[in-house]
Amino acid sequence: MRKLVTAVTAAVFALSAAACNTIEGAGEDIESVGEEVDEEI
């Protein structure tokens, strides 16, 4: 089970890293995640 969680986490990280090609893009992604979390709480 732990290997599965590690593999899924690595895949998500790789996909999100490929999605944001710049530091600015990464900042926008992090900001949008923070906003979504705030809305849910």
User: Would you state the pLDDT for residue 37?
Assistant: 73
Determine the Cα–Cα distance for residues 26 and 16; give it in Å rounded to an integer.
9
Q: What is the pLDDT of residue 23?
A: 64
Q: What is the chain's pLDDT, residue by residue, as a tens digit (41 residues)?
A: 778 778 778 777 777 766 655 666 777 777 888 887 777 66
> Can you give the residue ranges of every domain in the chain?
2-40
**DSSP state letters, 1-41:** -HHHHHHHHHHHHHHHHHH--SHHHHHHHHHHHHHHHHHH-
pTM of the model: 0.42
Length in residues, the chain: 41
Predicted local distance difference test score (pLDDT) of residue 4: 79
pLDDT value of residue 18 = 63
In angstroms, how far is CA 29 from the centroid of its own chain?
7
